[in-house]
Amino acid sequence: MSTFEQAGQRRTPTTPLRTTRPGSDGEHLVQQRLGTTERADRFYAEQVLDRLNPLMREFVARQEMFFLATADRHGECDNTFRAGPPGFLHVLDDMTLAYPEYRGNGVHASLGNIEENPHVGVLMVDFLRDRIGLHVNGRAAVVADEDMRRAHATLAIDPVPGRRARVWVVITVEEAYIHCAKHIPHLQRVPARGSGRSWGTDDVKRKGGDFFGAAAEAPERGPFLPPPRANAASWRAEAERVLARAVRHDPGTGTGARAATGSAAGAQSFSGWFSRSTPA
- Domain-by-domain residue ranges, the chain? 3-47, 54-189+196-219, 232-261
Q: Which CATH superfamily is domain 54-189+196-219 in?
A: Electron Transport, Fmn-binding Protein; Chain A (2.30.110.10)
Residue 146, classed as helix, strand or coil, is: helix
Asked which of 111-120, 129-138, 168-177, 259-268 is least confident by mean pLDDT, the reply is 259-268
**Start-to-end CA span in the chain (Å):** 26
At 225, is the pLDDT very low, low, confident or very high (cuts 50, 70, 90)?
Answer: confident
Over residues 176-180, the mean pLDDT reads 97
User: What kind and span of H or E run contains 59?
Assistant: helix 54-61
The pLDDT of residue 2 is above 60: no
CA–CA separation, 156 and 168 (whole Å): 13
pLDDT, the chain, mean: 84
Q: Which of 115, 105, 141 is nearest to 214 (CA)?
A: 105
Chain segment 77-88, per-residue pLDDT in tens:
999 999 999 999
Q: What is the pTM of this model?
A: 0.76
CA–CA separation, 97 and 92 (whole Å): 6
Beta strand segments in the chain, E: 65-71, 77-83, 90-93, 96-101, 119-126, 132-144, 167-179
